[in-house]
Each structure stands twice: as structure tokens, then as C-alpha cells.
């Protein structure tokens, strides 16, 4: 296993429980597990509202959320079903909300209800809108605690975890005979590792590992930064659960929302800005390698050309807290610029095709004896236990 985020850990645990006698080890580049996307998310257990019916995201979100709730309760990881309102603030939104409701119902989202202005105020007294979808089963959790519990399970079953071990992959040598299974050659600072099979859940680095293993260059990972504002202590009561706008159907992001986290904080965000480093936790960080790879990828310019309005809007929201607060205040009018302070940020590993298309669905590719997760955007943390089953099926297939 390569990658110790929630997906790599869930998959390692799944593989070890299916094949207890196999030697399964997990190699993680950072000194700590779950350092990247897993510990920088909104922490929302999504219910499955948004995703194209029949897609992996739709199926595995609904299944995975149920599995995750059960797992958290069993392992005593705190979670809260604090519900979500997706609020329409104008007539266009109302039309899109109808389409979203049909989608959510097709996906089998439980407990869904359509509410009017009065219904909104009953659920979220400080929120306003023309109408909303209410998903009471949406909840919050700290995904890094889930990752920690998965790591404990995996090690208790005999798996081994090696943090501080960045892996490079070499193209597989030709097998000596036609019947020989090709091996996967991995290089680590501690030496070479040869594996019969390997699974790569490397998030922001997944395209590089797939390419080095002989996979196709498309899709490329582009780093999309999600910045948050934190509502000052004493004003968190403005929102009880989660308040979302109706998303732009052309983009795979959900729009800046208000999330009451499991720790009781209220966050506004995340924004969605293409940045110059795959670890741009500081907005202005530049990595020459990351920047060059993003700039030379034809899909980058096609994506920007196609979505220039959204790009400009996100740039504004990222640079101006006032603009982001203004957006959130359309749903919660009592919110003002004095209520917020700078918050955390996460970097999304977004797969982008050569044609400029942002890949929506989860993408798992087999390359030789390796299984590579090439796109695991939100709700991959929610879906992790169900997605791990699918990845394990592919890894164990002959
Ligand atoms: C701002 C933001 C908000 C989000 N909100 C939500 C949400 O509310 N709900 C939800 O379900 N999802 C959400 N997501 C998505 C979710 O966080 C990710 O889909 C999920 O964490 C992906 O897990 P992962 O294990 O694939 O990736 P990661 O957590 O990024 O883990 C990948 C791991 O691979 C390691 N790695 C990389 N290269 C190598 C290498 N060469 N050798 C060894 N190790 C390597 C990395 O160090 C890292 O630890 C959000 C994401 C972001 C960024």
C-alpha cells in the first residue's frame, strides 16, 4: 500500500482482513499519517445528494456514509448528525434545487425533505431563503480520527505502517518467462521493495506515481486550494448544522458553505482556487515543479478558458474575506465581516483531463500489477470504507 490518508488506510485494513495471511505493509511519505487532504477537509459525512445517479460517487457515498456511521459508533469516534440545508436564494436556484432533489431521490438519500421559508427558519433560525432541501442524515466527524482508528485496526491485524517513507515507482522489468508474474519495483529511502501487488492511494501525487508505473499521462492532478474563514468564538450559534448554497452544476465543487464542525467551530468555505503548489497551505507558496507541470498541461488552459467566470469569482473569494462573507451572508444575513478570522486551508487533488474536463467520478486504474486511485475527490472521505472494498476487489482480481 502506498499512501497513509483515509483511503490508503481503509484499503490496507480491508485487504488485511480479507487475506489475513498476506504480508501487507503501508508506506507513507510524511512523518504523520493523514497529513494532507484527510486532515484538511470540511469533515462532512455527505448523504449522497449531489452525484450523478449510477456513478461510483453516488453509490459509494450512500453506502460508505452508512458504513462510516456504523464504524464510528463501534470504534467510539465522535460524530454528529447535525443535518444540512441546501438553500435557494433566488429563482434560478429554485429551478436547480428541483433538479438536485430528483438526483438525491434517485440516489436513495434517506430522510430528504423539501422545506419552505418557514421550514428553513425552524431548522436554522438565522438562515434565509426561498426554499431548501433538508438532509437530516448529513453529519460531521474528524476524518483524521477515523484514519487513526483504521490504522490501529490494520496494525492489530498484523499489518505494518512505515511513515516517513516516500515511494518512487520504477517501470516493471520484463518477466523472464511468459508465465512469470511481473513484479512491482518500489524505491524508498530505506532501499528497494519488490511487491507482487501494490495499491496506490497517493492523493496529490497520484498522477506522478501512475505515470512512472507506465500509465497514461491523462488525467493530471491539479491542486485546487480550499481556504476557509473561521467564525469568531461567540458567534458560532449563527448556524447549528451545515448550510450550503445550490451548487453550480458545471463544477465539481459544492460552493462556499457554512459547516459546524465536530469541534463546534463554524467554518465558511472552502474556496476553489487553482494554486502553484500541491502543498500550497500558504496561498502564495510556489513549487517550480508543480507550477510547470500545471502550466504545460493543455487541460489547464482549456479548463480556465471554459470556466473563466467561476475562476474569477473564486479568485475574489480567496483574496477578499469580505467577498466570501458576502456570499455566505446571502444564506445567513446576520453574518458580517467582523464575525470572521482567517481559517485553515486544504488542497484538493483534482484530476483534470487533457481536454480540460474536470473528472467528477472516482477513478481507479489498473497498471500492470498495481492498482492506482487516480481521482478521489469529495466525498471520498465519506465513502472511504465502501471505496476500500472496491479497490480491494480490483487489487485481488487475477
Ligand atoms: C478542502 C477540502 C474539503 C473537503 N471536504 C470533504 C468533506 O467534507 N467530506 C468528504 O467526504 N470529503 C471531503 N474532502 C475530500 C477528502 O478529504 C478526500 O477525498 C480524501 O481525504 C482523500 O483521501 P486520500 O487518502 O485519497 O488522500 P490524502 O489524505 O491526501 O492521502 C494521500 C496520502 O498519500 C501520501 N503520499 C503521496 N505520495 C506518496 C509517495 N510517493 N509515497 C508515499 N506516500 C505518498 C501523502 O503523504 C498522503 O498522506 C475534502 C477535501 C478538501 C481538500
* pLDDT tens digits in sequence order for the chain, 398 residues long: 999 999 999 999 999 999 999 999 999 999 999 999 999 999 999 999 999 999 999 999 999 999 999 999 999 999 999 999 999 999 999 999 999 999 999 999 999 999 999 999 999 999 999 999 999 999 999 999 999 999 999 999 999 999 999 999 877 656 556 556 667 889 999 899 888 899 999 999 999 999 999 999 999 999 999 999 999 999 999 999 999 999 987 776 788 899 999 999 999 999 999 999 999 999 999 999 999 999 999 999 999 999 888 888 889 999 999 999 999 999 999 999 999 999 999 999 999 999 999 999 999 999 988 999 999 999 999 999 999 999 999 999 96
pLDDT of residue 340: 98
Ligand 1 atom at minimal distance to the Cα of residue 166:
42
Classify 267 as helix, strand or coil: strand
Q: Is 261 in the pocket of ligand 1 (CB under 6 A)?
A: no
Give the distance (Å) from ligand 1 centre to CA of residue 163.
16
Grid coordinates belonging to 302: 482549456
**Is 378:205 a contact under the CB 8 Å cutoff?**
no
Whole-prediction pTM value? 0.96
pLDDT of residue 71: 98
Give the distance (Å) from ligand 1 centre to CA of residue 36.
5
Q: Is 379 in the pocket of ligand 1 (CB under 6 A)?
A: yes
pLDDT of residue 236: 95
Cα separation values, 395 from 12, 188, 319, 352, 389, Å: 11, 22, 43, 24, 10
Residue-by-residue DSSP string for 209-231: HHHHTT--S-SEEEEEEEEEEEE
Give the distance (Å) from ligand 1 centre to CA of residue 279.
12
pLDDT of residue 183: 79
Q: Is 2 in the pocket of ligand 1 (CB under 6 A)?
A: yes
End-to-end CA distance of the chain: 17
Give the distance (Å) from ligand 1 centre to CA of residue 208.
15
Give the distance (Å) from ligand 1 centre to CA of residue 330.
30
Give the distance (Å) from ligand 1 centre to CA of residue 378.
9
Ligand 1 atom at minimal distance to the Cα of residue 33:
49
Domains in the chain: ranges and CATH: 1-79+141-219+359-398 (3.50.50.60)
Q: Is 254 in the pocket of ligand 1 (CB under 6 A)?
A: no
What is the rounded distance in angstroms from the CA atom of residue 133 to the CA atom of residue 93?
11
Amino acid at each position: 500500500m502506498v499512501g497513509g490518508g483515509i483511503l490508503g488506510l481503509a484499503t490496507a485494513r480491508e485487504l488485511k482482513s480479507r487475506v489475513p495471511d498476506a504480508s501487507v505493509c503501508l508506506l507513507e511519505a510524511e512523518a504523520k499519517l493523514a497529513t494532507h487532504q484527510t486532515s484538511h477537509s470540511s469533515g462532512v459525512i455527505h448523504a449522497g445528494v449531489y452525484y450523478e445517479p449510477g456513478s461510483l460517487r453516488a453509490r459509494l457515498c450512500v453506502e460508505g456514509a452508512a458504513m462510516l456511521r456504523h464504524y464510528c459508533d463501534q470504534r467510539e469516534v465522535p460524530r454528529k448528525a447535525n443535518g444540512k440545508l441546501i438553500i435557494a436564494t433566488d429563482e434560478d436556484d429554485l429551478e436547480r434545487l428541483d433538479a438536485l432533489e430528483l438526483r438525491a431521490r434517485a440516489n436513495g438519500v434517506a430522510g430528504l425533505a423539501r422545506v419552505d421559508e418557514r421550514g428553513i427558519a425552524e431548522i436554522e433560525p438565522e438562515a434565509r431563503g426561498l426554499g431548501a432541501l433538508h438532509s437530516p442524515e448529513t453529519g460531521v466527524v474528524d476524518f483524521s480520527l477515523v484514519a487513526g482508528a483504521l490504522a490501529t485496526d490494520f496494525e492489530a491485524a498484523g499489518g505494518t505502517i512505515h511513515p516517513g517513507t516516500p515511494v518512487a515507482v520504477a517501470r516493471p522489468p520484463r518477466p523472464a518467462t511468459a508465465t512469470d508474474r511481473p513484479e512491482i519495483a518500489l524505491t524508498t529511502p530505506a532501499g528497494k521493495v519488490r511487491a507482487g501487488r501494490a495499491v496506490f492511494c497517493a492523493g496529490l501525487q497520484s498522477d506522478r506515481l501512475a505515470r512512472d508505473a507506465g500509465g497514461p499521462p491523462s488525467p493530471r492532478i491539479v491542486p485546487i486550494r480550499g481556504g476557509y474563514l473561521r467564525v469568531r468564538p461567540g458567534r458560532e450559534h449563527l448556524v447549528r448544522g451545515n448550510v450550503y448554497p445550490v451548487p453550480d452544476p458545471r463544477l465539481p465543487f459544492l460552493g462556499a458553505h457554512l459547516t459546524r464542525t465536530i469541534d463546534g467551530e463554524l467554518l465558511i468555505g472552502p474556496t476553489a482556487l487553482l494554486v502553484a503548489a500541491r502543498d500550497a497551505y500558504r496561498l502564495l507558496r510556489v513549487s517550480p515543479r508543480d507550477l510547470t507541470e500545471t502550466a504545460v498541461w493543455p487541460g489547464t488552459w482549456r479548463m480556465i478558458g471554459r470556466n473563466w467566470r467561476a475562476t474569477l469569482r473564486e479568485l475574489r473569494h480567496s483574496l477578499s474575506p469580505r467577498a466570501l462573507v458576502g456570499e455566505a451572508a446571502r444564506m445567513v444575513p446576520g453574518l458580517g465581516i467582523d464575525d470572521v478570522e482567517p481559517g485553515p486551508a486544504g488542497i484538493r487533488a483534482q484530476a483534470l483531463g487533457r481536454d480540460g474536463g474536470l473528472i467528477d467520478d472516482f477513478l481507479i486504474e489498473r497498471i500492470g500489477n498495481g492498482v492506482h486511485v487516480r481521482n478521489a475527490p469529495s466525498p471520498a472521505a465519506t465513502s472511504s470504507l465502501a471505496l476500500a472494498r472496491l479497490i480491494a476487489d480490483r487489487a485481488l482480481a487475477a
